[in-house]
């Protein structure tokens, strides 16, 4: 059934968050039809039973659609919060002193508990504390073993359990809490395709999660801390993909620094051949309105012009009033951008080095050949998906047909730019590879009689990481008779 499914009319992928507005089989099937390629399950909200039901519903919708669909389980990560107030909240004035301490007694306008002992050792005078997504700003004046004295720089009302961001120091907390470890084990048992790791500050955070995952899912590192930006290259080396998580990143960085950071992350990920997702507030107004603002449309378009592999919807599809319209709008924006005559030049503005490996050189050559001969598609035979990712990295103006014997690989490729995956039996010989490439290109409507295809694979077959062959074939139109 999958083999006959027509690819999307765009290369960038759409990742939609599931929630109360998108729980049912009917809605999830409609989201896939509207353009969703992958679904995010937010582990910050809901019980495991709720998540298990959503995951099962996605798999049911996937089977009905015949299209490989990725599921991303997004771990919550550590959440820094203040304690409670005697009256539920307190008004802080600019310039006043305010103390954070270890005392669990309800707070007032002079003090409140900060139940995170790690911060007392990490913070230094001059550091900032951003409370309630930066609506209040406290400047650290002095630190003692159980007290942090601050001055209020941006005034406002502070209330129970509001979040705290600490942008100026590396917080000595692991990226995985006890809840995250439990959620991770659950997600792996549910056979999700991707794990989203929050609160990444250093490569060691990624290494720890990767060891726990043990190859059972791919790992996406969320870049939402300034410290992660400083060690982006090391994080990219260990992660399978990254996300530009502009929510917390936009709190901890000055707003004007977020767009350059986004472009830097996208470019670095593309250089490494790792999928990159741009997320948060992309069509925010569509939570309550049937159409987005022009600025939001431009924001989505910019990410696509920059060459992001995927763009993400959060509350728009999870709790919004118009989840289907939001996915359809993102799909329409993508098709419009990719239909722009200048798109190919813009998406290749980031200069990609082919690297020194044979596999990278073969993928680079395949993209060049495909352009030079006007190929209908690049066809990849792959076990792990690495060949398809290398082909996607080149951003060639032709579709990439990924043929794999593993359903898990086909699903993971749902976050990779330009890749249309088909799960099919493995091949045992070069001749079988050529014949199957021709048949699948015709069945998926990626090519027609008379058009050339560029094939890339590894010989011997079924050997992961052995990409060493590029081959050109021309379709005759008789291939489907050879089944």
Domains of the chain: residue spans and CATH: 2-77+174-342 (3.20.20.60), 89-165 (2.40.33.10), 358-482 (3.40.1380.20)
> Which residue among 79, 81, 139, 474 is the active-site one?
81
- When pLDDT is averaged across residues 328-355 and rounded to a whole number, the result is 89
Q: Which token pair is 458?
A: 């590894």
pLDDT at residue 3, as a whole number: 43
The average pLDDT across 448-463 equals 86
| pLDDT for the residue numbered 468 | 85
CB within 8 Å of 213: residues ≥ 6 apart: 184, 188, 195, 219
Query: Is residue 406's pLDDT more than 50?
Result: yes
pLDDT band (50, 70, 90) for residue 430: confident
pLDDT in tens, 271-294: 999 999 999 999 999 999 999 999
At 6, is the pLDDT very low, low, confident or very high (cuts 50, 70, 90)? confident
- Of the pLDDT bands very low, low, confident and very high (cuts 50, 70, 90), residue 357 is confident
How does the average pLDDT of the chain come out, rounded? Answer: 93
> What's the confidence (pLDDT) of residue 296?
98
CA distance 175 to 197: 7
pLDDT given at position 80: 93
Instruction: Give pLDDT, residue 355.
Output: 66
Residues, the chain, total? 483
Calculate mean pLDDT across residues 10-35. Answer: 97
**Over 50: is that where the pLDDT of 2 sits?**
no
| % residues pLDDT > 70 (the chain) | 96
* Cβ–Cβ under 8 Å, residues 187 and 217: yes
> Residue 200 half-sphere exposure, CB side, CA atoms within 13 Å?
35
Whether 75 has a pLDDT exceeding 60, the answer reads yes
Taking the C-alpha atoms of residue 355 and residue 361, their distance in angstroms, rounded to an integer, is: 7
Read off the tokens for 306. 């920059």
Q: Which pLDDT belongs to residue 462?
A: 66
d(CA 438, CA 238): 36
Summarised one tens digit per residue, pLDDT across range 85-131 is 999 999 999 999 999 999 999 999 999 999 999 899 899 999 999 99
Q: Is 222 a catalytic residue?
A: yes
Find the catalytic residue in 17, 280, 404, 444.
Answer: 280
Torsion of the alpha carbons at 34, 37, 43 and 49, rounded to the nearest 10: 70
> Which of the residues 8, 162, 222, 439 is marked catalytic?
222
Q: 142-179 in b/e burial notation, b at 16+ Cβ within 10 A?
A: ebeeeebbbebeeeeebbeebebbbbbbebebbbbbee
Task: Tell me how far apart the alpha carbons of residues 277 and 222 are, in angstroms, rounded to a whole number.
Answer: 9
Q: Looking at 91-100, 102-111, 329-338, 436-445, which range is the least confident one? A: 436-445
CA 400/CA 407 separation, integer angstroms? 17
Largest CA distance in the chain: 81
Give me the mean pLDDT over the 194-213 stretch: 97
The closest of 194, 215, 200 to 309, measured between CA atoms, is 194
Average pLDDT of the residues in 3-20: 89
* d(C-alpha 279, C-alpha 118), whole Å: 29
Q: Are 79 and 92 in contact (CB under 8 A)?
A: no
> Quick check: pTM over 0.85?
yes
Return the structure tokens found at 442: 């015709």
Residue 460 preceded by cis peptide, ω within 30: yes
Find tokens 């969703």 and name the residue: 36
Q: How many CB atoms lie within 10 A of CB 455?
A: 25
280 catalytic residue (yes or no): yes
Question: What pLDDT is recorded for position 348?
Answer: 85
Res 384 pLDDT > 60? yes
What mean pLDDT is predicted for residues 363-368? 93
Give the CB-side neighbour count of residue 363, counting CA atoms within 13 A: 30
| 84 catalytically annotated | no
Catalytic (active site) residue 40: yes
Residue 370: pLDDT band with limits 50, 70, 90: very high
Alpha-carbon dihedral 455, 460, 465, 471, rounded to 10 degrees:
-20
Q: What is the mean pLDDT of residues 449-468?
A: 82
**Closest to 138 (Cα-Cα) out of 117, 159, 166, 161:** 166
Task: Select which of 13, 40, 54, 274 is catalytic.
Answer: 40
pLDDT tens, residue by residue, 135-191: 999 999 999 999 999 999 999 999 999 999 999 999 889 999 999 999 999 999 999
Q: Which of these ranges, 19-33, 119-133, 464-478, has the smallest mean pLDDT?
A: 464-478
Using DSSP, state whether 105 is helix, strand or coil.
Answer: coil
Radius of gyration (C-alpha) of the chain in whole angstroms: 24
| 478 confidence band (pLDDT: 50, 70, 90) | confident
């Amino acid at each position: 059934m999958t083999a006959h499914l027509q690819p999307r009319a765009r290369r960038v992928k759409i990742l939609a968050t599931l929630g109360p507005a998108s729980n049912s089989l009917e809605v999830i099937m409609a989201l896939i039809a509207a353009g969703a390629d992958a679904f995010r399950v937010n582990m910050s909200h809901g019980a495991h039973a709720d998540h298990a039901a959503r995951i099962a519903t996605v798999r049911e919708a996937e089977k009905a659609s015949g299209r490989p669909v990725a599921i991303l389980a997004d771990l919550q990560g550590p959440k820094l919060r203040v304690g409670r107030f005697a009256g539920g909240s307190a008004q802080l004035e600019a310039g006043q002193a305010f103390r954070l301490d270890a005392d669990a007694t309800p707070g007032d306008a002079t003090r409140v508990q900060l139940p995170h002992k790690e911060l007392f050792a990490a913070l230094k005078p001059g550091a900032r504390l951003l409370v309630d997504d930066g609506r209040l700003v406290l400047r650290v004046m002095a630190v003692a073993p159980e007290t942090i004295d601050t001055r209020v720089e941006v005034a406002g009302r502070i209330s129970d359990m509001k979040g705290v961001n600490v942008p100026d120091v590396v917080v000595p907390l692991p990226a995985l809490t006890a809840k995250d470890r439990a959620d991770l084990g659950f997600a792996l048992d549910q056979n999700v395709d991707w794990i989203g790791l929050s609160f990444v500050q250093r490569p060691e955070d990624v290494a720890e999660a990767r060891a726990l995952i043990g190859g059972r899912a791919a790992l996406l590192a969320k870049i939402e801390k300034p410290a992660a930006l400083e060690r982006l290259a090391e994080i990219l080396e260990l992660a399978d993909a990254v996300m530009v998580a502009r929510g917390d990143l936009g709190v901890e960085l000055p707003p004007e620094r977020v767009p350059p950071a986004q472009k830097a992350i996208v470019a670095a990920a593309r250089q490494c051949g790792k999928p990159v997702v741009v997320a948060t507030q992309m069509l925010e107004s569509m939570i309550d309105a049937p159409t987005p603002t022009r600025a939001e449309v431009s924001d989505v378009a910019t990410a696509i012009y920059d060459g992001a592999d995927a763009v993400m919807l959060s509350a728009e599809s999870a709790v919004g009033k118009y989840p289907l319209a939001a996915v359809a709008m993102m799909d329409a924006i993508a098709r419009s951008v990719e239909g722009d005559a200048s798109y190919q030049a813009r998406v290749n503005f980031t200069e990609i080095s082919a690297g020194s490996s044979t596999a990278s050189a073969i993928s680079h050559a395949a993209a060049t050949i495909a352009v030079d001969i006007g190929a209908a598609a690049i066809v990849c035979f792959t076990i792990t998906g690495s060949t398809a990712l290398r082909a996607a990295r080149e951003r060639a103006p032709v579709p990439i047909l990924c043929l794999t014997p593993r359903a898990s690989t086909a699903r993971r490729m749902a976050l990779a730019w330009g890749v249309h995956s088909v799960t099919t039996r493995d091949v045992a010989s070069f001749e079988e590879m050529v014949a199957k490439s021709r048949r699948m290109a015709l069945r998926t409507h990626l090519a027609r009689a008379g058009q050339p295809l560029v094939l890339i694979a590894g010989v011997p077959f079924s050997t992961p990481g052995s990409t060493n062959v590029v081959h050109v074939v021309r379709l005759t139109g008789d291939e489907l008779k050879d089944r």
